[in-house]
Amino acid sequence: MDERTRIDQQAQEFFEGLWQRGDHWELESSAFEQMKYARILALLDGGHYPRVLELGCGAGTLTRHLASLADYVLALDIASSAIERAQALWTGPATVDFRQANIMEYNPHAEGPWDLVVFSDIMYYLGWLYSFFDINWFSSQLFTATRIGGHCLYANAMGLFGDMLLLPWITRSYRDVLRNVGYSLITEDIFCAQKNRVAIEVLIDLFTRGV
């Protein structure tokens, strides 16, 4: 087994294990998460997106909000148990395609171009599992698969509360990866609130792809 295959397997086993135990991050029940989604939607400002690619959709809590702005949403997650939960909870029209896939192995050009690409609280996990080169290359492929004039949304938690994956300078470094591969920053917001008595900030950035 080569190193990349080992990492892919580690990623799938880790997230599968979490989702088999239910809503590990309390994405469905947490007031913090619902307020975060509201801030994300505020940045999108009611825009309409014919085709949306959501990376790391989990059980589809954000997907349900994105669907109201889109004609079609492809929502990917590495954990089949998360996708099964998302499909079971989905009651909307058949414009959302929940699909099990390792996003690092997915070719965004195959079904693109995309009008909106969404990263919500997954980049720090990619940084934990994959090399900086892999993340840069993947981001560059997403950029070229985004329609000219389309958008990329990046939302990532950060804070100084002991989780090394969420250090603010790391979160901002991954934001800058998206800028460096060609996306132009339109606007940035920082959402601040407590979740389970822990103060957390969420960096939310909306990018566009120019000509």
Task: Please name the residues in contact with 157: beta carbons below 8 A apart, sequence gap of 6 or more.
Answer: 121, 124, 166, 171, 200, 201, 202
CA distance from start to end of the chain: 41
Q: Which CATH class is domain 3-208?
A: alpha beta
Q: Where are the domains of the chain?
A: 3-208
**Strand, helix or coil for residue 120:** strand
Looking at the chain, the whole-number percentage of residues with pLDDT higher than 90 is 75
What confidence score (pLDDT) does residue 1 get? 64
**Bigger pLDDT: 81 or 3?**
81
pLDDT at residue 6, rounded to an integer? 85
**What H or E segment, with its residue span, contains residue 35?**
helix 31-44
Greatest CA separation for the chain? 46
Give the DSSP letter of residue 62. Answer: H
Over the stretch 112-152, which tens digit does the pLDDT of each residue have?
Answer: 999 999 999 999 999 888 999 999 999 999 999 999 999 99
> What is the DSSP annotation of 3-17?
HHHHHHHHHHHHHHH
Q: Compute CA distances 103 → 20, 79, 138, 184, whole Å.
A: 19, 11, 9, 23
pLDDT at 211 > cutoff 80:
no
Q: With bands split at pLDDT 50, 70 and 90, how would you rate the model's confidence at 60?
A: very high
pLDDT in tens, 156-190: 999 988 788 889 999 999 999 999 999 999 999 99
